[in-house]
Structure 1
Amino acid sequence: MREMLADSCKEVGEDGTEHCFEYIILVDEMEVSGGLFCESYGVRVVREDGESAEVRNLTVRVERIDELVELLRRNAVSPVTLRDVVEDWL
């Protein structure tokens, strides 16, 4: 598996605390048939304190994972809410 830092953002919470999030694209290989492999993409969100969450093998299309990362960044999605956002996105 490879990882690529795609983006990051800072967000001020309701309590006035600033949070920083990094959005990382995960690149895996998955077997499609008969020994043929293709790249699949997932995402990890990491908060500045080290808390993280990831969802792997979401798509094989680069454009789709780029769209998801932009959605996550634009909405300052945290590790806690990542899975819910991904489920809605799918």
Structure 2
Amino acid sequence: MLWIIRHSIVASKPVSLISIPIRENSITWGWLVANRPPSTQWLNSEKTFLQQITDQISLAITHVKLMEEKLKREAQIEAAKDANEAKS
């Protein structure tokens, strides 16, 4: 798991940021970024929770891509059937 934790200034206030990549098939689609006061530390349970969120987003992306492929194949099969019927 890759977590980037850093301290930064957001809207003129110091914060502690955590950034977790959203990946699908080794491609980074974006980042989930959360912040909190710099005087507190990120708990392992919080890191795990945020990682689970990015995992679910990655699964959703994969699911959409698979559905698009399925619909494309179904359309190709239907077009081939129509072409065969037109020949008959």
**What is the TM-score when the length of structure 1 is the normalising length?**
0.38
**What is the TM-score when the length of structure 2 is the normalising length?**
0.38
Larger radius of gyration: 2
Which has the larger helix fraction?
A: 2
Which has the larger strand fraction?
A: 1
Q: Using CA pairs under 8 Å that are at least 6 residues apart, name the structure with larger relative contact order, 1 or 2.
A: 1
